[in-house]
């Protein structure tokens, strides 16, 4: 989706340039187009494959749409009395609540790290940087063992709690707060008698909003697509997110065929909320460009 | 899948780091186990959880719940495969494993050596008479203990396109020599067609073929193991398939891919060495070919012999974490031996039952829909199942299987020496056992 965002804004900025600079650079254009095709082909494949019935899926031409979309949707909804929609709701819950809390925690922590000087600030920040470099999959099993000790394994909390603390989100919020909130504005607020909390809420937070939207989106996508953490944490299939749920459809043991059509259709549906989310939150990203121009 | 194991391995080594990072989140709590079993009280019914991947298992279990109000079982559907094995072992270490797990036969030694499974010989030991000796041996690991009740089995058979075999004048092979001759003849008739493929993704099939040839990959005496993956029998099997791949008379691409489905669907591949559950897979992968297939016994190494191997098959095991092992053992026995239960397993979960009585009549009286042209499908299958050679699994089959994927994947792609790949597989497995601290002879 990020490619789409830049793809949309690129022509606008090109047309603003003087005519002599508007010559098309063929090499980069062809390179970018090739990149776009490379990224979009799998999406197109999923889109077309979801319209094919079981009989058509592997026997008809790959890019030729089939006639099974409605029956696929029906079968998917009928699978174990609508288990798929339970998974979708679970994913929405994990990703929505997790990303919201994560954005809140990142906002407060990033602001504090950027605007206050206190003992151990650099130590905390460096630890966070180390956390950014560590892939979250590495933590899944230790986190499971901890959750099991706390009696929280196989609960909604076991997936939600580890998603809230995102070192990358805090890092991003810190950078964003440092760059977009002038110290003079905070001083003015304090001189006017606002408490620290009020200063953060009414002055700093609105200025950080575009950054926090970014953190929210990043976390939402990360949690939505997360596989290993919920796979390890959850045993009860009615708590599965859609990623783990579809995996059980794909691997039903040797004696049962993989439910390819259901998995493909399910994958398509599971991508839709992400697309909607990006399109609807895109305008906050444009705001990002303007808010960078505050003079201090 | 391999990458996931690597990640999990990395995850375990990083445990120390993570503990310090997350110290704030952990609370000092009593050790508890997830799953309903822990919450069962003396007054209410016993509640059991069961991890299974078989489709519609919840419907089979509903029959039990109806007739056993005091022991209520909840099915939590999982994805099959080595990843589930990792998940079960991790959960067991944290005390959170379910009461019952579905486990493939080759996974049992791994689960037993990780202390996951309970010995249910006291409760279910008398069930041995209901299963073929070769199958029962897989759940006892040759000891006096019983670690699981056999659920389904997968005797190997030969599946071929009857119409295309007639078209190209191929004979249904009864020996592997004839099989190779068929592959070569087909190449002469139509070079775009292949008899079958050698799949480096499916170690289970290779293990079954080696089993047929008389291989015994792991043996143990006392607490000492012996690894013999590159024994003479397996070398014979590897050499045979290696030659077919090398001279191009069969394909070298993996099975269970969209490309493979397509090849089965449009008749580019004419045959499939597979197990009794093949009709289910074919109906999903190659629906266009319904009614065009036939099943025969697996080709033999010596003419007139009558041996087959097995591919897949699983059992129902009770875990050490379970607080209600008696109830769980009772359920496991019912699920796999009670006529009503087994009939439901066959019908709803598409299992080929391990229990000898259940392999004829009942739900298996009529041929699978996809093979309606072969009415005696299950009668023939039961005869073949009775010739299954015993399997011998060790505590690190998953390592051997992933070594197979790596080594044979390369060899099949480069059409190079399968014997060398087999040695690599043997050495990797042996080294892993030594590293894990098993006593290994030779």
* pLDDT tens column, B376-433: 999 999 999 989 998 889 999 989 999 999 999 999 999 999 999 999 999 999 999 9
With CB atoms and an 8 Å threshold, state whether A149 touches B93: no
Per-residue pLDDT, A220: 94
With CB atoms and an 8 Å threshold, state whether B34 touches A235: yes
Contact status of A146 with chain B (Cβ, < 8 Å): yes
Band (A53; pLDDT cuts 50, 70, 90):
confident
Per-residue pLDDT, A29: 92
What digits encode the pLDDT tens for the residues A257-285?
Answer: 667 889 999 999 999 999 999 888 877 76
Architecture of domain B155-310+391-440: 3-Layer(aba) Sandwich (3.40)
Per-residue pLDDT, A291: 52
Angle between helix A83-115 and helix A156-164 axes, rounded to 10 deg: 30
> Which residues are CB-contacts of B145 (< 8 A; sequence separation ≥ 6)?
B119, B121
Strand, helix or coil for residue A240: coil
Higher pLDDT, B97 or A289: B97
Q: Strand locations in A100-256, DSSP E?
A: none
Return the H-helix or E-strand segment holding A185.
Answer: helix A183-191
Spatial contact of B301 and B235, defined as CB atoms under 8 Å apart: no
Name which of B18, B256, B350 is nearest A256 (Cβ-Cβ): B350
Would the pLDDT of A5 be above 60? no
* Interface with B, mutate which of A86, A255, A259, A261 (most B CBs under 10 A): A255
Tell me which chain A residues have a C-beta less than 8 angstroms from the C-beta of B54. 252-253, 255-256
Would the pLDDT of B115 be above 80? yes
What digits encode the pLDDT tens for the residues B213-249?
Answer: 999 999 988 889 999 999 999 999 999 999 999 999 9
φ/ψ of B431, rounded to 5, equals -60, -40
What digits encode the pLDDT tens for the residues A119-139?
Answer: 999 999 999 889 888 887 888
Would the pLDDT of B14 be above 60? no
Per-residue pLDDT, A21: 60
- Tell me the Cα Rg of chain A: 23
Residues 268-287 on A with a CB inside 8 Å of B are: none
From B277, which residue of chain A is nearest by alpha-carbon distance?
Answer: A255
Q: How far is CA B379 from the centre of its chain?
A: 22
Spatial contact of A130 and A195, defined as CB atoms under 8 Å apart: no
DSSP string computed for A242-260:
HHHHHHHHH---TTS---H
Residues A240-245, mean pLDDT to the nearest whole number: 95
From B278, which residue of chain A is nearest by alpha-carbon distance?
Answer: A255
- Tell me the Cα Rg of chain B: 23
pLDDT cut 70: percent of chain B above it: 90
Task: Spell out the domain ranges in chain A.
Answer: 77-291
Per-residue pLDDT, B420: 95
Indicate the pairing of strand B149-161 with strand B271-275. antiparallel
With CB atoms and an 8 Å threshold, state whether B22 touches A149: no
Return the H-helix or E-strand segment holding A29.
Answer: helix A26-49
Name which of B49, B51, B261 is nearest A58 (Cβ-Cβ): B261
Residue B430: how many other CB atoms lie within 10 Å: 22
With CB atoms and an 8 Å threshold, state whether A138 touches B11: yes
* Interface with B, mutate which of A60, A257, A260, A261 (most B CBs under 10 A): A257
Per-residue pLDDT, A255: 66
Distance CA B56, CA A164 (A): 35
Q: Which of A280, A281, A276 has the alpha carbon at shortest distance from A88?
A: A276
Distance CA B359, CA B382 (A): 6
Indicate the pairing of strand B224-227 with strand B439-440. parallel
Indicate the pairing of strand B271-275 with strand B439-440. unpaired
Q: Which of B173, B160, B188, B34 has the alpha carbon at shortest distance from B98?
A: B34
CATH 3.40.190.10 fits B35-154+312-365, yes or no: yes
- HSE (CB half, 13 Å, CA atoms) of B268? 15
Q: Which of B437, B354, B441, B386 has the alpha carbon at shortest distance from B139?
A: B354
User: Same CATH fold, B155-310+391-440 and B35-154+312-365?
Assistant: yes
With CB atoms and an 8 Å threshold, state whether B34 touches A153: yes
Tell me which chain A residues have a C-beta less than 8 angstroms from the C-beta of B289. none
Tell me which chain B residues have a C-beta less than 8 angstroms from the C-beta of A154. 34-35, 96
Burial (Cβ within 10 Å: 0-12, 13-18, ≥19) of residue B418: buried
Spatial contact of A196 and A212, defined as CB atoms under 8 Å apart: no
Name which of B53, B91, B98 is nearest A251 (Cβ-Cβ): B53
φ/ψ of A294, rounded to 5, equals -65, 130
What digits encode the pLDDT tens for the residues B307-361?
Answer: 999 998 999 999 999 999 999 999 999 999 999 999 999 888 888 999 888 887 7
Q: ipTM of this predicted complex?
A: 0.80
Q: Count CB pairs under 8 A between chains A and B.
A: 168
Query: From edge to edge, which strands make up the β-sheet containing B218-221?
Result: B218-221, B224-227, B439-440
Would the pLDDT of A240 be above 90? yes
Per-residue pLDDT, B428: 96
Contact status of A87 with chain B (Cβ, < 8 Å): no
Higher pLDDT, B239 or B8: B239
Residues 206-235 on B with a CB inside 8 Å of A are: none
Distance CA B125, CA B260 (A): 43
Distance CA B273, CA B255 (A): 11
Per-residue pLDDT, B40: 43
* Interface with B, mutate which of A58, A80, A151 (most B CBs under 10 A): A58
How close is the nearest chain A Cα to the Cα of B74, in Å? 9
Band (B442; pLDDT cuts 50, 70, 90):
low
Would the pLDDT of B30 be above 90? no
Spatial contact of B51 and B102, defined as CB atoms under 8 Å apart: yes
B291: left (phi over 0), alpha (psi -120 to 50) or beta: left
Contact status of B269 with chain A (Cβ, < 8 Å): no
Residues 295-354 on B with a CB inside 8 Å of A are: 311-312, 314, 349-352
CA angle B149, B150, B153 (to 5 degrees): 170
Task: Spell out the domain ranges in chain B.
Answer: 35-154+312-365, 155-310+391-440
Band (A250; pLDDT cuts 50, 70, 90):
confident
With CB atoms and an 8 Å threshold, state whether A255 touches B152: yes
Contact status of B38 with chain A (Cβ, < 8 Å): no
Distance CA A27, CA A25 (A): 6
State which CATH number among 1.10.287.3510, 1.10.3720.10, 3.30.70.3280, 1.10.10.10 fits the domain covering A77-291. Answer: 1.10.3720.10
Per-residue pLDDT, B50: 97
From B311, which residue of chain A is nearest by alpha-carbon distance?
Answer: A254
Spatial contact of A75 and A263, defined as CB atoms under 8 Å apart: no
Residue B366: how many other CB atoms lie within 10 Å: 10
């Amino acid at each position: 989706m990020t490619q789409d965002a830049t793809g949309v804004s690129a022509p606008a900025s090109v047309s603003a340039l003087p005519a002599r600079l508007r010559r098309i650079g063929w090499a980069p254009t062809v390179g970018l187009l090739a990149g776009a095709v490379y990224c979009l082909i799998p999406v197109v494949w999923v889109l077309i494959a979801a319209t094919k019935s079981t009989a058509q899926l592997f026997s008809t031409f790959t890019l030729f749409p089939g006639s099974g979309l409605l029956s696929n949707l029906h079968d998917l909804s009928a699978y174990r009395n609508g288990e798929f929609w339970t998974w979708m709701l679970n994913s929405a819950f994990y990703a929505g609540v997790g990303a919201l809390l994560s954005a809140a925690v990142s906002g407060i922590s990033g602001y504090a790290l950027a605007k206050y000087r206190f003992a151990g600030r650099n130590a905390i920040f460096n630890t966070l940087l180390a956390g950014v470099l560590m892939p979250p999959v590495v933590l899944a099993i230790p986190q499971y063992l901890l959750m099991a000790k706390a009696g929280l394994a196989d609960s909604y909390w076991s997936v939600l709690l580890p998603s809230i603390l995102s070192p990358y989100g805090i890092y991003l919020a810190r950078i964003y707060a440092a760059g977009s909130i002038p110290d003079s504005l905070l001083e003015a607020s304090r001189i006017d008698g606002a408490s620290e909390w009020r200063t953060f809420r009414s002055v700093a937070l609105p200025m950080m909003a575009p950054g926090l939207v970014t953190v929210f989106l990043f976390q939402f996508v990360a949690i939505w697509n997360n596989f290993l953490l919920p796979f390890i944490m959850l045993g009860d299939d009615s708590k599965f997110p859609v990623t783990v749920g579809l995996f059980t459809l794909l691997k039903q043991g040797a004696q049962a065929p993989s439910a390819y059509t259901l998995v493909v259709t399910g994958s398509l549906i599971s991508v839709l909320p992400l697309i909607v989310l990006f399109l609807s939150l895109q305008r906050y990203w444009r705001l990002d460009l303007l808010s960078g121009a505050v003079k201090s | 899948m391999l990458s996931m194991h690597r990640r999990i391995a990395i995850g375990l080594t990083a445990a120390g780091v993570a503990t310090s990072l997350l110290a704030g989140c952990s609370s000092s709590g009593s050790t508890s186990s997830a799953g309903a079993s822990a919450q069962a009280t003396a007054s209410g019914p016993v509640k059991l959880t069961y991890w299974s991947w078989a489709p519609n298992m919840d419907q089979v279990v509903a029959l039990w719940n109806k007739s056993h109000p005091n022991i209520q079982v909840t099915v939590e559907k999982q994805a099959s495969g080595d990843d589930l094995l990792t998940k079960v072992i991790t959960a067991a270490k944290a005390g959170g494993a379910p009461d019952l797990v579905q486990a493939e036969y080759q996974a049992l030694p791994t689960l037993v050596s990780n202390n996951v499974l309970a010995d249910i010989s006291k409760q279910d030991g008398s069930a041995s008479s209901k299963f073929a000796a070769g199958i029962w041996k897989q759940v006892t690991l040759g000891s006096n203990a019983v670690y699981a009740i056999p659920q389904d089995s997968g005797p190997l058979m030969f599946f071929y396109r009857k119409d295309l075999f007639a078209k190209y004048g191929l004979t249904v092979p009864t020996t592997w020599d004839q099989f190779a001759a068929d592959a070569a003849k087909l190449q002469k008739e139509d070079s775009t067609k292949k008899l079958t493929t050698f799949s480096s993704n499916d170690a289970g099939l290779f293990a079954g073929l080696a089993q047929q040839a008389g291989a015994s990959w792991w043996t143990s005496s006392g607490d000492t193991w012996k690894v013999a993956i590159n024994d003479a029998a397996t070398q014979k099997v590897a050499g045979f398939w290696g030659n077919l791949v090398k001279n191009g008379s069969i394909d070298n691409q993996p099975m269970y891919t969209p490309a493979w489905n397509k090849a089965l669907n449009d008749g580019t591949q004419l045959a499939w060495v597979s197990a009794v559950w093949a009709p289910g897979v074919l109906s999903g992968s190659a629906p266009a070919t319904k009614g065009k297939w036939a099943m025969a016994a697996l080709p033999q190494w010596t003419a007139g012999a009558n041996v087959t191997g097995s591919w897949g098959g699983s059992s129902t095991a009770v875990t050490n974490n379970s607080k209600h092992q008696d109830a769980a053992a009772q359920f496991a026995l019912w699920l796999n031996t009670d006529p009503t239960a087994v009939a439901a397993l066959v019908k709803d979960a598409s299992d080929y039952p391990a229990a000898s009585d259940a392999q004829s009549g009942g739900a298996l009286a009529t041929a699978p829909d996809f093979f309606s042209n072969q009415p005696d499908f299950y009668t023939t299958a039961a005869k073949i199942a009775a010739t299954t050679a015993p399997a011998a699994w060790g505590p690190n089959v998953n390592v051997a299987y992933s070594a197979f994927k790596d080594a044979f994947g390369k060899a099949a792609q480069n059409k190079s020496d399968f014997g060398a790949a087999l040695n690599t597989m043997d050495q990797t497995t042996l080294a892993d056992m030594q590293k894990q601290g098993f006593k290994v002879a030779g």
